[in-house]
Copies of this chain bind each other. A is one copy, B any other.
């Protein structure tokens, strides 16, 4: 009997928060098994559950899914959040890959040495304001619809909303000149499943700090 999906990862956002957002937005209840000690991690490896000896891993539909993009694509397809045809999938992929590039910059900032931080912060602000947010604002403006692709909720809207919260936490003023993005963020946040996820007590994780990464590194030995 298929149970709830089980997500194996650290008790962190890092690169896995997108998976939590997508499952939550799709209304899928899931469990989490946090890796908290080196032994937790060794056990997963020794049991042969991690194809590339890495987490995240999601137990779902009788399989052990690894690689966050593969996991996100599978969930999106299963819950009809991946567009209706190959062209919509293409647009969703183009947009979410751009989002992943910006998101990665935020992740890298956490582990950037202090003497390089200011330059990194300046670059992130520039890219956010002049490259990524304008691109997505333009998409919404071009069709005037409530969702990025195909006038229907998709992985792209959910991951964009997550990214906009990340930008807001970093520097809320960056969102100021993007009214359509702000409207989308509000709209998606008000979907019942998303609203529940955004409330205290949900599975949403707090922002990742350098200290958290340090702790995870000791377990992961990376």
A contact set with B: CB distance below 8 Å: 51-53, 63, 65-70, 73-74, 77-78, 86-87, 89-90, 93-94, 97-98, 101, 126, 131-132, 135, 222
Contacts and interface: CB of A to CB of B under 8 A. Distances in A.
Nearest to A85: B77
A53 B130 CA distance: 10
Contacts of A69: 69, 93, 97
A74 B89 CA distance: 8
Given A51-B135, A67-B93, A73-B93, 20 more contacts: A51-B94, A51-B98, A52-B98, A52-B101, A52-B132, A65-B90, A67-B94, A67-B97, A67-B98, A68-B97, A69-B93, A70-B90, A70-B93, A70-B97, A73-B89, A74-B86, A74-B93, A77-B86, A77-B89, A78-B86
A62 to B, nearest CB: 10
A67 B135 CA distance: 13
A186 B40 CA distance: 40
A2 to B, nearest CB: 14
A137 B64 CA distance: 18
Contacts of A70: 90, 93-94, 97
A69 to B, nearest CB: 5
B131 A52 contact: yes
Contacts of A74: 86, 89-90, 93
A139 B68 CA distance: 19
A94 B65 contact: yes
A101 B222 CA distance: 15
Contacts of A67: 93-94, 97-98
Nearest to A139: B51
Nearest to A76: B86
The 8 A-B pairs at the shortest CB distance, nearest first, are namely A70-B93, A67-B97, A70-B94, A74-B90, A52-B98, A77-B86, A67-B94, A69-B97
